[in-house]
Each structure stands twice: as structure tokens, then as C-alpha cells.
Structure 1
Amino acid sequence: MGRDYRGMSAAERLADRRERLISAAYTLFAHPGFHATTIERLCSTARISNRAFYECFSSREDLMRAVYERCVEETLASVNEAIDKASPTLDDRIIAGIGEYVRFVTKDVRRARVMHLEVRRAGDVLTGARQHAVGAFTKIIENSVQDLPHALPVDLHLLALALIGAITELLIEWVVATPTPSIDELIDACVHVFRRTFTA
């Protein structure tokens, strides 16, 4: 396979352009936002041609999906690691998992905006990716509380979905509210809801 003046193969050049587009989109989709960001602006920021864009992604929505899925994968890995390191008590798992999720997502406001605000604005084309992410986070909750010593009054899966929704709304509030609630306040609110849900 031929190499260009930078010593990169065609596959390496494609991967490099793809990463530059993902990096540009991570910033621009967070601000000024998905709908305000054109393909031309993405290409300008990534320093590639408009033609090269379509060698990497089929559409702006396709690029948004790649950015969103990477944010989710990184967050899942961080949360799972925190829970694995926590002591096995339910309360410690709740505190570790929620604390890590909120801190990790809010550590970079771009991640918070992409995961909880802009993914919704991107439209129906990302519904599948968002449902997949919700399912993955729901599974973490279900696995963390599967050894409860008492029966739950309602279906565990539905409870987990409801709790994911609560965390999502709190993080949207963190993104858009003025003044911004503190990270500790978000974590305290989430932990309170989880404790009241799963403590007999």
C-alpha cells in the first residue's frame, strides 16, 4: 500500500481524518450545538476537505453518533471501574457508581452537553444509540442491586429506567441552569433517590 509524504498509509490517513472530525465535533456539537454546526465548519476545524468528510462519515448525524457513543463507552468504563473498586455493600456501590457517573460526565462540560442535551436535539436518527446507552446504564443498576434482601414493589428494570431518567434531568439542569447547582448537590440528590428506592 502506498504512503504519502507524511509516511502514512491510506488507512492511517483515513483514521487520522476520522479522529480529527470526532475531536472537532466533540467541541462544536457541545457549543454552539449540533444544529448550529455545519459540515463546512466541522471540516474547517478538523482541517480536512468537505469531500474527505464523506469518506469518514455518511452524514452529520453519523458523526454525532460516533461522538455520543465514545462518550458513553468512556463513561461506562469509568463507572464500572468505580463500582468494582467499591466495597460490596449496596450503599457503597450506590455512592461509588453515582458519584463517578456525575463527576466523570461533568468533568468536561462538552461531554455533559453531548450526552444529555445535544443527543436529543440531533433527532430521531440517534434514538437507537441513545436507547442502547440507556440500556447499558440500566444494566449496571440492575446488576448492582440484584442481591437485595427484600422484594421490590415494582419491576426492577422499570425502576432502573426511572432512575436513569432522574439522573439525566439533573444533569440537564446542571448544563442549562443559572446558577449552576454544585456537583455535590447533584450527587446528594441522586444518592437520596437511589437510597429511598432500594432501602427497605
Structure 2
Amino acid sequence: MLDGWNVNRSYRGMSAEQRLADRRERLMTAAYTLYAKPGFAATTIERLCSEARISNRAFYECFGGREELLQALHERCVEESLAVVAKALDEAPASIEGRAKAGIRAYIEFATADWRRARIMHVEVRRSGDVLAVSRQRAVDAFARLVQDASADFPQAVPVNPRLLALGVVGALQELLIEWLLSEEQPEIDELVAAAVHIFNRSLGDA
């Protein structure tokens, strides 16, 4: 009989909305590891579902495909990183040098604290081809704006387009992290920070 049957009933104490949110989070957690290694291209929906312990049908209730899941994961990593850097800049000394060191160290330490985060943001984002093209561009733009804000009062030696200069600094930082991820002789975190701060200072006119 259907008398009193609640089609929106909870299951194991969770509503339908909570179950969907739980499955999405389990897929995000599974993708966080699998998209980092063996990588996006090598990770099938079946493997993601097995890791997350959900059915293939449930996957498509959460995401439209592997690409949509990758984009959601990448955007989460970017948002978390931006928040960490913004907080470090707010708490940094008022000087340009102090803000630069604080922001760069905060980003590098946060990115390298979990190799999966660094790998998704700096390796898989490129290997995924067009999948993350728009998301990656938004991320680069957001980080470039942070650099511009942090260096707004820097006494530049020569006039240079500030946005292009910020993009160059962001690109250099990305390459340093790729070196950390892929090099056989992994550089120390302090070495990465020192190199990035030096590039920042020299690029923005510090003698």
C-alpha cells in the first residue's frame, strides 16, 4: 500500500538532497586522488565509481561526465588557494617585500602540502587539453590580479604593462611548482620560495 508513503523520505537518516551531496563529495574525494595519479586521461568513470562506492547511474546524478567533475575539483583547489593567499596578504607586513614573501610562501606551502592539489592545478590542468581551458584562464587571471594588487606601489624601473608583468610572475611560479612535482631531485620548499621571491622582486624593478 502507498498510504502514508513519503516519496521524499530519508534513507539512513539522510534526505535525498543530503544523499546527493554525499555522493558528490565522495566522487570529489575519489577524483582528488585518481585525477592526480594515474591522471585524468587514465581515470574512467567506472574506476571513480568504484573508489567512491557508488553506481554509474548515481555518478550521472551528480556530474555530467568526467570533465565536469574535473572542472569542479580544479575550481575548488583554486578557490582554496586564493583564500589562503588573500589571508596571508592581509596579515603580511605593509611593505611590498613583506606582502610578496608572505603571499608567495603561503601559496607554495599550501600547494605543496598535498601533492595531489599541486598536481591537479599545475600538471593535469595542462594535460586535460581543452577541458579546463576556461577554468584555467579564470584561475590565472585571479592570481594575476592578486599579484597586481600586491605590487601596486612597487617602484618599477621601467614602464611595463602591469597585467602582463603579473601574468609573467604567475607563469614563473607555475613552472617552479611543476619542477617540484616532476624533477627527480625535488627542490626544497625554501628554495622554491626564494626563487619565486627573487623573480618577483627583479621583475617588478627591485635592484
Q: Same fold (TM over 0.5)?
A: yes
* Distance in 2 of aligned mates of 1:156 and 1:101: 21
Query: Out of 121, 127, 136, which is 1:121 matched to?
Result: 127
Matched, 1:32 2:50: no
**TM-score, scaled relative to structure 1:** 0.96
Q: Return the offset for 1:149.
A: 4.0
What does residue 56 of structure 2 align with?
A: 50
1:104-183, aligned counterparts within 5 Å?
104-150=110-156, 152-183=158-189
Q: Return the offset for 1:119.
A: 1.1
Encode CA deviations 1:48-80: one digit per residue, 9 max, x unaligned: 000111111111011000111000000000011
State the structure with more CA Rg. 2
Matched, 1:72 2:117: no
Secondary structure, aligned partner of 1:37: coil
Moved segments of 4+, more than 6 Å: none
Identity %: 59
RMSD: 1.2
* Distance in 2 of aligned mates of 1:147 and 1:70: 31
What does residue 12 of structure 1 align with?
A: 18
Encode CA deviations 1:69-124: one digit per residue, 9 max, x unaligned: 00000000001101100111000000000011100000000000000001111110
Encode CA deviations 1:15-45: one digit per residue, 9 max, x unaligned: 1100000000001111111111110000000
Structure 1: which 5+ runs fail to align? none
* Distance in 1 of aligned mates of 2:129 and 2:94: 39
What does residue 3 of structure 2 align with?
A: none
More deviation, 142-151/105-114: 142-151
> Aligned in 2, Cα 1:121/1:150: closer, same or farther, shift over 3 Å?
closer
Structure 2: which 5+ runs fail to align? 1-6
Amino acid paired to 1:93: R
More deviation, 151-160/76-85: 151-160
* Distance in 1 of aligned mates of 2:54 and 2:128: 23
**TM-score, scaled relative to structure 2:** 0.93
More deviation, 89-98/190-199: 190-199
* Distance in 1 of aligned mates of 2:62 and 2:128: 19
Q: Return the offset for 1:152.
A: 4.3
Q: Return the offset for 1:125.
A: 2.1
Amino acid paired to 1:12: Q
Secondary structure, aligned partner of 1:4: coil
